[in-house]
Homo-oligomer: A and B are copies of this chain.
């Protein structure tokens, strides 16, 4: 017996459809406005012709849009479609044996060979009859009339002439006989808003925003002191660590001390006290209304506020009392605090994702995010997502984006490569990356190519950070000004999404704890006072670079990068191009001590110049313009003057 699931007459195979991720297990990602190129191997047995169409629709569309796929070579077909909306698209390919096209080709060969084709014309008449059943009213009449001509020996010559007419050809395309159609499994494409493609992040602690030394900063202080600076420097995302009540049990003191002095503010990540938890506000920062006001003021200035989701509790968090089942209970009845034996972190209770009441937990966490979303939050930075269950992230990101497709999630997963990749596959919009530790030319090129030229380009969006409030990398502990400039500049030009933790970055603060890549006197444990007006060479570079990013679309994407040859291991050169013609060449001296130079090889095909053609390279940091010609052009960079060029390539 032949299984009833077998479609015996279906002859077409559709394979290797791209883009797709893990056989459709995960959605591929794109940005609003992208053109998605779809390709597949499509073939059948024998010599019959086939027809193939891409079908796609936005989640709320009722009907599919179809596009004809065109043959490339070696059984590969392609077409493309534009995605204009933020949300899910579904796409697939269907293909069928195109008997009409086969007939058209064969009768043509026979006519050219001088054969009698009376029987073939009868076949054609049958094809026309089939078409007439699905044709428009006008065509229906004409199709029937043509079939009559095909069947009548007296109009043999007229029929023959018609077989290779344009009208016949168009009918064959327009009224396909989709018998035994093969349809590929439907695939999903997630389309993010533009902000997910291009963003400049600035991270700071609101409690350090006061203009009065020794005073706890407030949301109002952020509005008054911080936002004008961000606007002036060109940042468009303000990311702040948790703003909730902070626990007092086992509160940490300055420099992560296990004891704290009266009045020390504690760590914002020890979330929750008798004043509330993840949907409550630390009174010292202001009220919920103050927060909403800050969000609104940000919006007015073209800045978005990113909140920080840390799924953990201080021992004083309401959940510890109300939902002890969401934590691990030790045999002595106490809740298990965080530990990395032999180290203990008694100020933190981690959540147990194996909880029997995991549904209740998930729903509560959804409530947290939905509450924030109601306040107006559309960007969430997630603290250590790699220590929470993968399945939870897949669920919650989908749940939230079903209501707020514009919600952006950044995964702070400084962890193993495959775990980092998995979080991106499951739905995270952005990922913190290893950029912070990629220093040499080989490391940088290798890492960028991994991100942009492998399968990772389908799902992983890097967000390059030169530092964070947790990380002061070794290279910055040198304190060298060129190093701060280089690391900032590369973050902002290699990746379209990047960030810094300030103002320690602008101040080029370089003191770490011994043998650790972390800040001494970290703001995680104390309130700081900053001059929010401070300007120096680095702020000049930041301002100019962000200006260039805003004005040049080539810098607003990441995967459009091409590294350029230059015979100097201390010089990194990379070109970014945009379909609108914008072309940016960055050249960076990686050596913070010495002048370095060489001949950069420009891929002329990408800048559309002839080998003997002159063009201008316009440095957007210094304003200088140079006339270059052809493929190889010399550069020389003194790190003490300016360790890089940010060239726009312009016509002469």
Contact = CB atoms under 8 A, between A and B. Distances in A.
Given A41-B418, A179-B354, 13 more contacts: A2-B395, A6-B395, A11-B390, A15-B422, A43-B419, A45-B353, A46-B387, A74-B416, A97-B354, A105-B341, A115-B342, A119-B332, A180-B354
Contact of A45 (B2, B75, B125, B388): B388
A109 B343 CA distance: 9
Interface stretch (A64-72, A358-366, A460-468, A629-637): A358-366
Nearest to A388: B45
A402 interface: no
Contact of A386 (B15, B45, B418): B45
Contacts of A97: 354
A340 interface: yes
A11 B416 contact: no
Contacts of A122: 330-332
A15 to B, nearest CB: 7
A137 interface: no
Given A119-B332, A122-B331, A43 B8 contact: no
A75 B419 contact: yes
A8 B388 CA distance: 11
B47 A15 contact: no
Interface string A337-374: 00111100000000001110011001100000000000
A9 B354 contact: yes
A152 interface: no
A395 B10 CA distance: 13
Nearest to A114: B342
Nearest to A122: B331
A647 to B, nearest CB: 38
A362 B8 contact: yes
A536 interface: no
A342 B106 CA distance: 8
The 4 closest A-B pairs by CB, nearest first: A113-B342, A122-B331, A23-B23, A109-B341
Contacts of A62: none
Contact of A2 (B362, B389, B416, B422): B362
A204 to B, nearest CB: 29
Contacts of A6: 391, 395
A307 to B, nearest CB: 22
How many copies the complex holds: the figure is 2
A119 B330 contact: yes
A391 B45 CA distance: 10
A574 interface: no
A6 B363 CA distance: 14
A237 B105 CA distance: 42
A342 B395 contact: no
A573 B180 CA distance: 49
A417 interface: yes
A392 interface: yes
A392 to B, nearest CB: 7
A233 interface: no
Given A22-B15, A342-B110, A342-B115, A10 B43 contact: no
Interface in A117-152: 119, 122-123, 125-126
Contacts of A74: 416-418
Given A110-B342, A119-B331, A331-B123, A43 B418 contact: yes
Interface string A75-118: 10000000000000000000001000000011101101101000
B2 A363 contact: yes
Interface string A38-57: 00010111110000000000
A463 to B, nearest CB: 21
Nearest to A418: B75
Interface in A366-414: 386-392, 395
Contacts of A387: 45-47
Contacts of A391: 6-8, 10-11
A13 B390 contact: yes
A112 B341 CA distance: 10
Nearest to A353: B11
Nearest to A363: B2
